[in-house]
Amino acid sequence: MIYTVTISPAIDYIVHLDSMVMGATNRSRQEEYYFGGKGINVSVMLQHLGVPSVALGFVAGFTGEALKKGLHDQNIATDFVHLGTGITRINVKIKSTQETEINGQGAIPEEKDFLLLIDKLTKMRKGDILVISGSIPNGLPADTYDRLLSTAEMQGALPVVDTNGELLLSTLKHRPFLIKPNRDELIDLFGEITPLEGAERLHAMGARNVIISLGREGAMLLAEDGRIYRCGVPSGSAINTVGSGDSMVAGFIAGYSTTQNYQHALNLGGAAGSATAFTPGLADRDSIEACLAELEQ
Catalytic residue numbers read 246
| DSSP conformation class of 225 | T
CA distance 152 to 105: 28
State the amino acid at position 100 in one-letter form. Answer: T
Q: Please list the alpha-helical segments (H only) found in the chain.
A: 38-48, 61-73, 111-121, 144-155, 165-171, 183-190, 195-204, 244-259, 262-277, 285-295
CA distance 297 to 282: 24
Q: Is 207 helix (H, G, I), strand (E, B) or coil?
A: coil
Which is nearest to 271 in space by CA: 256, 290, 253, 297? 290
CA distance 202 to 24: 50
At 98, give phi and psi (nearest 5°): -130, 160
Cβ atoms of 240 and 212 within 8 Å: the answer is no
Cβ atoms of 283 and 82 within 8 Å: the answer is no
Which is nearest to 291 in space by CA: 229, 210, 208, 234? 234
Give the CA diameter of the chain.
59
CA distance 151 to 70: 28
CA distance 215 to 254: 21
